[in-house]
Amino acid sequence: MPDISKSTDLTGETAPAIHVSPSPHILDTGAHTKRVMLDVVISLIPVIAVSVFLFRLYAVKQILLCTITCLVAEFIFEKMRGKSLTINDFSAAVTGIILAFSLPPAAPWYATVIGAFAAIGLGKVLFGGVGMNIFNPAMVGRAFVIMAFTQQLGAVAYDNLSGVVDTVSGATPLTALKYDGAHTALTNMILGNTAGSLGETSVIACILGGLYLIYRKAASWEIPVSILITMALISAIVDLVGSHSGVFLYHHLFGGATMFGAFFIATDPVTSPLSFKGKIYFGVGIGFLTMIMRMYSGYPECFMFAVLLMNAVTPLINRISIPIPLGWK
């Protein structure tokens, strides 16, 4: 805030002097990284509860291993760079939890560890640390291990899960629809009784957590809404043209990483646009790319790739969507 004190001018007279400290001059003490990250952790509680209930020790192992490894990786990389430690802001922990929820239940431990190091090292530290990264760190880690361990993280990582119910072991709803034409019951998708990565099975858990994020203003509602509307419109058109009776729509809207990704991945404030229009463009782009790749590529999910592609064009979106200041042409 400006500090008004007395000073002496060239004439020798005493005049008030204004010393202006660096902006911002109005500080919201609640709007800091640690608070936002804590809100994300709280919002993930329903997803954590459902994943542990359905996948038992598989979920516990993945969550703990991913989170601890991300914390260790951040500690090591920050020490190597001679920077002050940032593990107490919970950003690395959130990256670990998001990464764990995007991996298959039976992902091998070495893939999990490598993915966590890639998420922190390549997705975050390489760009300068928290707040400087271009791409979502958790999705960088997932993309790295998906490409490095295609066989280990394929269908085998969803099958043969001992100690869990049969409904969460086997082909995911999108895989079954794409390759076998098999339908998954809508009720199972909403409750989470389907195969899939840890965080993507229960629609209701993702929505509850996402609404909390939006309520706490830790996520922008424009992004998930524009993603879901775009995907719903494209799916509805495909249903009408192909006479699928709504099957295509509810599978792509409620199956895979759609809900989890729309609320918890795409809304990352660091890697998403700043303005209202920019967020709409961003969400529409993710929804459109996800549906195009799901329909025409050999990969049934694709939400991760859509997010990373739109992360890459976020600076351009910011450039064309930032409002013109008053008085500027």
- 135 contact partners, CB below 8 Å, separation of at least 6: 123, 271, 308, 311, 312
Tell me: the pLDDT tens digits for 185-211? 888 888 888 888 998 888 999 999 999
Domains present along the chain, CATH in parentheses: 37-321 (1.10.3430)
127, burial (CB in 10 Å: exposed 0-12, middle 13-18, buried 19+): middle
Kindly report, residue by residue over 122-174, the tens digit of the pLDDT. 999 999 888 889 999 999 999 999 999 988 888 777 877 877 766 677 788 88
The pLDDT value recorded for residue 44 is 95
Could you give the C-alpha distances from 96 to 110, 179, 225, 229, in angstroms and in order? 14, 31, 25, 29
Q: Judge contact between 92 and 78, C-beta under 8 A.
A: no
pLDDT value of residue 33: 80
Count CB neighbours of 325 within 10 A: 6
pLDDT of residue 1: 45
**Better-scored residue on pLDDT, 275 or 298:** 275
Residues 70, 75, 79, 85, Cα dihedral to 10°: 120
With a cut of 90, say whether residue 6 has pLDDT above it.
no
The pTM of the full predicted model, rounded to 2 decimals, is 0.85
- Quote the DSSP letter at residue 83: P
What pLDDT shows up at residue 159? 77
Amino acid 275: pLDDT: 92
